[in-house]
Amino acid sequence: MIAESSKEEVAGTGGHKPALESFGPDQFDDDHPEERRKKMYFFNWWNIVLCCGLLLGVTLIVYIQDHMRYAAAVIILTAVLASSTAIFCTGRPFYRFRKPSGSPSTPMLQVLVAALGKRNLAYPSEPDQQYEVPA
């Protein structure tokens, strides 16, 4: 059974992580080679910062809670949250908003129908035939 704090972490991660990872690449246009390269850098930095934050959260903050005061860790986490909110608010005017087109249910239903239609197909004998290569 999942501990109570783990449930909160899962719910929190499920709320922000998929949205942030998809909104970041929206800032870059795939039709321009320079912006495609910047999108690659975005994902590299995204993963580096995410891993560093997780590492500090499970080591430094826990160490401060255990060996110093619990309140000190709460103050540090509050300061980090306040600074990230300030960075978000500062960058918000520069964000590219894209208008949604069509229904979000349509691609999901297309995948479901394709998966059901192909469920009885035999697997290719060669591994390189399993993936579509763009022409």
Instruction: Please name the residues in contact with 77: beta carbons below 8 A apart, sequence gap of 6 or more.
Output: 61
Which tokens sit at 92? 């918000």
User: Count of CB atoms within 10 A of residue 35's CB?
Assistant: 14
pLDDT per residue as tens, the chain (135 positions): 444 445 545 555 555 666 677 777 778 887 888 888 888 888 888 889 888 888 888 898 889 988 988 899 999 989 988 998 898 889 888 887 777 778 888 888 998 998 898 888 887 777 777 766 565
- Cα gap 112→105, rounded to integer Å: 11
Give CA angle at 110 (108, 112), nearest 5°.
70
pTM: 0.54
